[in-house]
Amino acid sequence: MKPPLEFYFDFSSPYGYIASRKIEALASKQGRSVNWHPVLLGAVFKITGGRPLPDVPLKGEYSKRDIERSARFHGVPFRMPEPFPVSTVAACRAFYAVKDGIGLSGRFSDKSGPDPQFSVTAVELAKALFRAYFVENVNISDAENVAKVAASVGCDVRAALNDQAVKERTKAEVDSAIAKGVFGSPYIVVDGEPFWGIDRFDQIERWLTAPF
């Protein structure tokens, strides 16, 4: 089995969302799976001096247009959310709580320690969070909204969102991503080769067949 694609994204990133709707088909065509890694771009921007797109003069105006056009181009359901962007700390914590099975009630409350089902459900949750924000206009910076989305995939994350172990795990994931050079969303690593942007999927596709 070849190594999975390492897929880094922020839950508030429209291009990350579009990528999330495309990456599994791209990977599976070449017999690959996908490792999902939500990160916090706010922490990254402190290092790079980056700013949320809407705040950048000229580029901000363009990006609004480009985001909606790119969603249409890729055939992905999309509605520009309000407010945008938002903090995704709660969404990120929920993801890692589910992935690691930390502090959960409900569906997984009878389990402890790693379980293969955790990763599957974490990806389900990631997709549901993206859909909530970018299709249904649900503000996922709100912990209560995150908890509702998690409930829709059978997880009770209410306690987990304030769990110290979950907080530390989330921070460690973000720090590790930054240490690996992740500076934007989506950011995909294929066999050590980094690709930034939904607009590098054409290069990833060729790279998976034969590095160039």
CA torsion 28→203→197→5, rounded to 10°? 30
The sign of the torsion formed by the CA atoms of 136, 25, 199, 44 equals positive
Minimum gap (Å) between residue 70 Cβ and a copy of itself = 7
Question: DSSP for 36-90?
Answer: EEE--HHHHHHHH----GGGSTTHHHHHHHHHHHHHHHTT------SS-S---HH
Q: Site for a copy of itself (CB under 8 A): how many residues?
A: 33
CA gap 67, 102 in Å, rounded: 35
Smaller CB separation from a copy of itself, 84 or 183:
183
Q: Which of 28, 62, 111, 165 binds a copy of itself (CB under 8 A)?
A: 62
**DSSP bridge partners of 105:** 156
- Is residue 79 within the footprint of a copy of itself (CB under 8 A)? no
Minimum gap (Å) between residue 69 Cβ and a copy of itself = 7
- Is residue 25 within the footprint of a copy of itself (CB under 8 A)? no
Which tokens is 69 given? 């056009």
What is the b/e burial string over 127-144, where b = at least 16 CB atoms within 10 angstroms of the residue's CB? bbbbbbbbeeebbbbebe
- Sole window of 33-41, 101-109, 131-139, 200-208 interacting with a copy of itself (rule: CB under 8 A): 200-208
Smaller CB separation from a copy of itself, 19 or 94:
19
Of 32-61, binders to a copy of itself (CB under 8 A) are 44, 47-51, 56-59, 61
Site residues (CB under 8 A) for a copy of itself?
Answer: 44, 47-51, 56-59, 61-62, 65-66, 69-70, 72-73, 178, 181-184, 194-197, 199-200, 202-203, 206, 212
